[in-house]
A and B are shown apart, each in its own frame.
Chain A
């Protein structure tokens, strides 16, 4: 019984090795398309640009926006104040 099982195992192993050997020699015919490299790196470049733009509008844009708003506030505040003062100086009856 054991001998029979051992023989079956050996046959199974031999068949497995044979199939592996034959399948590993299989090579699909043809050549890899030359344009593939350009396509891959163009896509990566496009994704990088997209990521930069996205980054600009999420992180940097808010920073830039707050900086700009801050600078507008700081520059416009004295002017506004000046205008207010001017308005106060004017005679309300006029």
Chain B
């Protein structure tokens, strides 16, 4: 495979939707490859680092990124251009990584208890998490379990709602709330230990 480097194509001026249409509508294989490369350049790194954040292993993240990007190119025709392309792609990333973690049995089994927890993310004992800083978080994130890290990243880094998380993880909303609460509890507990 030979990549055409630094050739001005004007593809970088296109929006994601226009670029997807260009890839799907292009009959010339060379031009189609250029458009695919442009899309790859926009998202490959983001996908890789998302995978790395979720699975914490560079070789696994590389394999997952490969599979996700191939899947993305093969299912471009399913993207209808209704929402943002990045949202469509990133939901593919979450689903793929969550399925991987489930297959590896790295996610805790679904909670059987269906507690009706409020959406608010406050527990009195967590107030001092307001003191948590990036350096400390970087230390603590590695000590969390896969499930704890996953739910906190999806909620606070990716900004997914409880409903979106439930959809991506294939569990109920109350189970998501419960996992979020337990993950915050654990983060707070680790932070307390670190501060002592």
* Interfacial residues, chain A to chain B (CB-CB below 8 A): 8-9, 11-12, 14-16, 18-20, 22-28, 30, 32-33, 36-45, 47
Contacts and interface: CB of A to CB of B under 8 A. Distances in A.
B3 A37 contact: yes
A4 to B, nearest CB: 12
Contacts of A40: 40, 44, 66, 69-70, 73
A42 B133 CA distance: 42
Interface of B: 1, 3, 33, 36-37, 40, 44-45, 48-49, 52-53, 58, 62, 65-66, 69-70, 73-74, 120-122, 126-127, 129-130, 132-134, 137-138, 141, 152-153, 156-157, 159
A23 B1 contact: no
Contacts of B1: 38, 41-42, 45
Contacts of B66: 36, 39-40, 43
Nearest to B45: A32
Contacts of B37: 41
B100 to A, nearest CB: 16
A30 B53 CA distance: 11
